[in-house]
Amino acid sequence: MAIKLEKVVETFYQKLEEGKIMGKKCTKCGAVEFPPVYACNSCGCWDMEWVEISGKAKMHSIVMPAPLSTKPEYKNLGKYAYGEIELEEGSRFNGVVRGMTKKKRKEILAAGKLPVPCHAAIYQRDGYKTVVFDLDEE
Ligand SMILES: [Zn+2]
């Protein structure tokens, strides 16, 4: 099990190097899981296939990082926040959204704009790539 899970993670990062953001699609019920998991969260099916996700998403909540909990690996990311992301494909998870400031958060909340459209981007961290989100331009 542990070895198989490693393989999923390995493939995910290999595809990121190719500029592709991959999720896992259940062959039984069609649910798309992101970040990729080994078994379908919707129906429990273990038969999952790789699919490239569109990257289109909505941000449902915005949580500013506490100053002391700011992760050093996100130092070069600029302003960011955490948020509940829902992919066009349906999966929901907590992600990192770039370009979010306290002021912007306030404006979005005041205008009742949640959920706000955003899209996935590949971010180069020390030694490997990861997936972050950018707000769509208005
Ligand atoms: Zn399923």
Per-residue pLDDT tens digits for 93-115: 999 999 999 999 999 999 999 99
CA of 92 to the centre of ligand 1 (A): 15
In this structure, which residues have their CB less than 5 angstroms from ion ligand 1? Answer: 26, 28-29, 31, 40, 42-43, 45
What are the structural domain ranges in the chain? 1-53, 54-138
More confident residue, 137 or 45: 45
Residue 6 pLDDT class (50, 70, 90 cuts): confident
CA dihedral 25, 122, 137, 93 (to 10 degrees): 50
Q: Which CATH architecture has domain 54-138?
A: Beta Barrel (2.40)
> Which of 125, 13, 132, 35 has its CA nearest to residue 83?
132
CA of 25 to the centre of ligand 1 (A): 8
Residue 7 pLDDT class (50, 70, 90 cuts): confident
More confident residue, 109 or 77: 109
